[in-house]
Amino acid sequence: MMSIMHYGECEMEHKPEIIYDYNRTKWGIDALDEKTHNYTTFRRKRRKPMAIFYTILDIAGVNAFVLLQAKEDNNDIIRREFLIQLGMELVSDHMKRRLDSPFLRKDVRNSIFDILGMNPNEAPGTSQAGKEAPPTKSKRRRCSI
């Protein structure tokens, strides 16, 4: 291995200094790997960008939990519950927006209501009484010159 920072052998182990520094600091990566593998979002995908995205999500979840613990000085928070709450907050706005779509299948609509804990009859903007029918498009005509 080449490095401009490390230029000699470690006197204690007769190994290059870069190896000694790596061994001394590798525990941080091992701890992160362990935390991301305990509760992971990763799914087997053939596309490399999706694998990278899931890895970034896992690392962001670990970082958010560490920041929350540092800010709150409260170690009573369970990481699993924190990640579930974080995920719900990330997707709940999008799910509510999807409910406004008139083309959403009924089973998907009911699943969203179940996940959000909402009652389909009391949900804002979902009653059919005040809604207008979507405008109908005129029939296409042939272009003639």
Q: Is position 106 within any domain?
A: yes
Look up the domain containing 111 and give its range. Answer: 78-121
Q: Is position 129 within any domain?
A: no
Q: Is position 54 within any domain?
A: yes
pTM of the model as a whole? 0.57
Same domain, 16 and 1: yes
Q: Is position 128 within any domain?
A: no
How many distinct structural domains can be found in the chain?
3
Same domain, 96 and 115: yes
Q: Is position 145 within any domain?
A: no
Residue 14 structure tokens: 């007769």
Q: Is position 139 within any domain?
A: no
What are residue 9's DSSP bridge partners? 16
Same domain, 82 and 68: no
Q: How far apart are CA 18 and CA 27, in angstroms?
A: 15
Are 20 and 13 a contacting pair, CB within 8 Å?
yes
Q: Is position 11 within any domain?
A: yes
Give the total residue count for the chain. Answer: 145
pLDDT per position as a tens digit, 36-73 = 877 887 777 778 888 888 889 888 988 888 888 888 67
Same domain, 101 and 86: yes
pLDDT per position as a tens digit, 72-90 = 676 777 888 888 888 899 8
